[in-house]
């Protein structure tokens, strides 16, 4: 799946008391979803990424290039 190439950032928020999930390769809002546990954040993040990709495709907007890290 092409959307699996996008990085997903999961970070604990003391203020929100949950894990926040963001996708740095996509411009716009910083956080897309959250989860009370790390596992829930991952699951919600995967679902949010699928919806985000579908929304880009439905609007005809080109998907951003995923950030690629190369091992030395």
Specify the higher pLDDT residue, 18 or 53.
Answer: 18
Q: Report how far residue 12's alpha carbon sits from residue 7's, in angstroms, rounded to the nearest whole number.
A: 17
What pLDDT, on the 0 to 100 scale, is given for residue 1? 52
Q: Report how far residue 65's alpha carbon sits from residue 72's, in angstroms, rounded to the nearest whole number.
A: 21
What pLDDT, on the 0 to 100 scale, is given for residue 2? 54
Whole-model pTM over 0.75 = yes
Tens digit of each residue's pLDDT (9 = 90 or more) over 58-70: 999 999 999 988 8
Q: Where are the domains of the chain?
A: 2-58
Strand locations in the chain, DSSP E?
Answer: 9-13, 18-22, 33-35
Average pLDDT over residues 4-11: 91
Confidence of residue 3 (pLDDT cuts 50, 70, 90): low
What's the number of CA atoms in the CB half-sphere (13 Å) around residue 8?
22
């Amino acid at each position: 799946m092409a959307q699996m190439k996008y990085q997903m950032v999961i970070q604990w928020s003391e203020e929100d008391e949950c894990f926040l999930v963001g996708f740095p390769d996509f411009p716009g809002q910083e956080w897309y979803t959250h989860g009370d546990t790390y596992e829930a954040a991952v699951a919600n993040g995967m679902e949010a990424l699928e919806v985000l990709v579908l929304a880009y495709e439905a609007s005809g907007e080109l998907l951003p290039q995923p950030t690629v890290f190369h091992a030395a």
